[in-house]
Amino acid sequence: MNNTLAYAQALDTQDPLKHMRDHFAIPKQPNGDDEYYFTGNSLGLQPILAKEAVMEMLDAWQTHGVKGHFEGEYPWMPYHEFVTEFAAQIVGAQPNEVVMMNSLTANLHLMMVSFYQPQGKRTKIVIEDHAFPSDHYAVESQLKHHGLNPEEHLILWKPKAGNELLDHDDLYQLLEAHADEIALVLLPGIQYYTGQVLDMPRITEKAHSLGMTVGFDLAHAAGNIELALHDWQVDFACWCSYKYLNSGAGSVAGCFVHEKHATNTELNRFAGWWGHDKSTRFKMGNEFQPIATAEGWQLSNPPVLSLAAVRGAYETVMLAGGMTKLREKSLALTSYLRDLLKHELGDDIRIITPEAETAHGSQLSIMINKPGLDGKSMFSAIEAKGVTTDWREPNVIRVAPVPLYNQFQDCFHFVRILKECLA
């Protein structure tokens, strides 16, 4: 493999998305150089368009006061609708299946209110053993809300002993073994610790064939890999917009409800006035009539400043040509990084993220394997030299070169610095 800086620079020169980096604010090191930023899987960098969109909203508020709900280029009353088309494209949905609202965990709860209806023997929920803690807490609390004991009603899909990665065949056996007891399968699209992509279409098909409902937490998948939620027949999905979608810390999250459910206004839900039929919302009546789209799950009038950041950030994804273009570059960047790591660091590290193209996104999860060195001190050592990655307990440095703003050169410098620190 060509392990020179000149080669990395040549790859950057040929990169069809190289101009996209100029659309982002890149944090600086103390010496004034750009940071080597690999944490788009945790908090994406600020798109210039996001800042502009937020400033426009502040100006509109200043100029119009309450009339801003109806006046100006982007009135607030329908503001969430300005991002619907983009959101639908990003997750492979129809516009009537998506809405940007609330936060990820709040949306998971709202979805479970509608899509976890324990009945008779069918009471159990399947999650993965190492689910993000918030998902685990949300599911346990939903079980308790229905008076069910998580010890009996929560089923954990675990990797085989000694493995980090989940084996889909184990899941399918587990689903079959509890075929008439499982009500809901709730899994990540991409596992946050290992970066493993789960086979969402096959999982959905299998679970549906056994009469189960399927939802996905797409925190690490949305804006990272190509999704086709509508065609895969996924029942519901939720994602946050601050990771690969660059909308700012804690920004408004996304929610997908498949058309076959979204149009069903009889579905049980927790309701609020923003989910009520738009033509009669301001009649101020007491009878709730849900909008017959994913918007029918909205509770409140949305935080417009935050949604403005989402609009600017989603527009930035579209400027790059959408998810197909991003994924092409992502695969090239990630495989360059993996090859360079293997070439330069050999057995001093272990990459636990699967290598098959269909089984990883932008993130590589790296364990330090060198006797006498621990991963956490390596994480801190590279950070002191301008490399921003993140550390996840118990043992992993997560590195995500993202196609919108990372360069091949960033990967080169990351490997060089990690090699220096390991030495």
Ligand X SMILES: Cc1ncc(COP(=O)(O)O)c(C=O)c1O
Binding site for ligand X (CB under 6 A): 103-105, 132, 134-135, 188, 192, 217, 219-220, 240
Cα dihedral sign, 270-268-207-202:
negative
Q: Output 37 or 244, the one with its CB closest to ligand X.
A: 244
Give the nearest distance from C-beta 296 to ligand X in angstroms: 21
Q: Output 220 or 360, the one with its CB closest to ligand X.
A: 220
Give the nearest distance from C-beta 356 to ligand X in angstroms: 21
Give the nearest distance from C-beta 104 to ligand X in angstroms: 4
Give the nearest distance from C-beta 298 to ligand X in angstroms: 17
Q: Output 68 or 254, the one with its CB closest to ligand X.
A: 254
Q: Output 219 or 227, the one with its CB closest to ligand X.
A: 219
Q: Output 103 or 123, the one with its CB closest to ligand X.
A: 103
Nearest Cα to 128, choosing from 168, 180, 78, 77? 168
Cα dihedral sign, 225-322-255-262:
negative
Task: Output DSSP code: residue 77.
Answer: T
Q: Output 135 or 410, the one with its CB closest to ligand X.
A: 135
Cis amide linkage into residue 118, ω under 30° from 0: no
In the numeric block, the tokens 């301008």 are attached to: 386
Residue 349, φ and ψ in degrees, nearest 5: -135, 165
Q: Which letter, b or e, does each residue of 345-370 get, where b requires 16 or more Cβ atoms within 10 Å of its Cβ?
A: beebbebbbbeeeebbbbbbbbebee
Give the nearest distance from C-beta 73 to ligand X in angstroms: 29
Cα–Cα distance for residue pair 2/355, rounded to 1 Å = 20
Give the nearest distance from C-beta 131 to ligand X in angstroms: 8
Instruction: Give 352's Cβ-side CA count (13 Å radius).
Output: 21
